[in-house]
Amino acid sequence: MDLLDTLIAKGLRRELPTREEALAVLATTDDDLLDVVAAAGKVRRQWFGRRVKLNYLVNLKSGLCPEDCSYCSQRLGSKAEILKYTWLKPEQAAEAAAAGLAGGAKRVCLVASGRGPTDRDIDRVADTISAIKDANEQVEVCACLGLLSDNQAERLKAAGADAYNHNLNTSEATYGDITTTHTYADRVDTVQKAHGAGLSACSGLIAGMGESDEDLVDVVYALRELGSDSVPVNFLIPFEGTPLAQEWNLSPQRCLRILAMVRFVCPDVEVRIAGGREVHLRSLQPLGLEVANSIFLGDYLTSEGQAGQADLDMIKDAGFTVEGAGEATLPRHRADAAAAAGHGCGGGTSAGGSADGAAA
């Protein structure tokens, strides 16, 4: 296909596709699916080889969120049957993180439900970061705590955080349809605060909420414009007890096309298959690795993932390798640019990311 040849060439040059080209990827047929995956795979291998980065979620505080995000099992008024608890102690979080690190995870993602952290919460997270890094100084830590106030990103950076996650989730035009208690602009502001403080910016999307192809392209273009180092792609898990419980809109083929579109628009950033991978990609998960270079190991926030050993077996069987602690995730040109700007952490690595509706 001429389209795919064009997208490969642009991806290898880090050139932005046109909106029409991005939309055309989403409109391809199932007959063309393997060609689409192969084309996106060429771009992925150019910048990331056959490495797969493993990330591990630690849910510091679960449920009872005052925000009304329609997709989230932790939202205000949610009737989803999930665990609800207040803040884990630093030693509890460090113990949970150790399990993921033992399985090969390179980064720990610390997530807490809520609109955003108080200053006391920042102190709690700082103590947790210290406990985790005292046990393993090479570990990368990403925080996902909701909307940030002034100077909180700087405090997290000083405490040893390497990245901050806050997803845009969907397009600006439709954001008000899924959340009313904060705005799309609030989310953009938090990503900019994190980036400005020298944290690696991690921001992604949720697919399957009834959005149009145009909405998906809009949010991915916005993420590129924001300069996200990593883009987690969540696939909606329609939790019973939430407003989107009946939104079963995704097929494995649709998910692969979405991942490919993200890769073509963001060729040299970490693209992570996040929440909903097992539910929606199912037996086609290994094909997802041809496009994305990062996954979560094990469980998510309020839903179970694939067994960690099954993830490791899948990576090996598909001919990929787990990215080591000493390897830089981002290609050199991005790592050098981040270092020059004071962003990111040693080696230019980046990760983090909420999954299945994390902090508001």
- Tell me the catalytic residues: 65, 69, 72, 109, 142, 202, 272
Segment holding 115, helix H or strand E: none
User: 107-112 and 140-144 as β-strands: parallel, antiparallel, unpaired?
Assistant: parallel
Tell me if 149 sits within 8 A of 116, measured CB to CB.
yes
Please report how many Cα atoms fall inside a 13 Å half-sphere around the Cα of residue 252, on the Cβ side: 13
CA distance 157 to 154: 5
Q: Which residues contact 331 (CB under 8 A, 6 or more apart)?
A: 47, 48, 268
From CA 63, how far away is CA 40, in angstroms rounded?
37
Nearest to 79 by CA among 238, 237, 209, 240: 240
Task: Give the angle 36-39-41 at the CA atoms, nearest 5°.
Answer: 110
Segments of the chain assigned E as strands = 51-61, 107-112, 140-144, 163-165, 200-202, 205-207, 230-235, 270-273, 294-296, 321-322
Q: Residue 196: CA atoms inside 13 Å, Cβ hemisphere, count?
A: 12
Is residue 56 within 8 A of residue 95, CB to CB? The reply is no
CA separation for the pair 345, 191 (Å, rounded): 16
User: How far is the C-alpha of 291 from the C-alpha of 273, rounded, in Å?
Assistant: 9
User: How many helices (H) does the chain have, and how many strands (E)?
Assistant: 13, 10
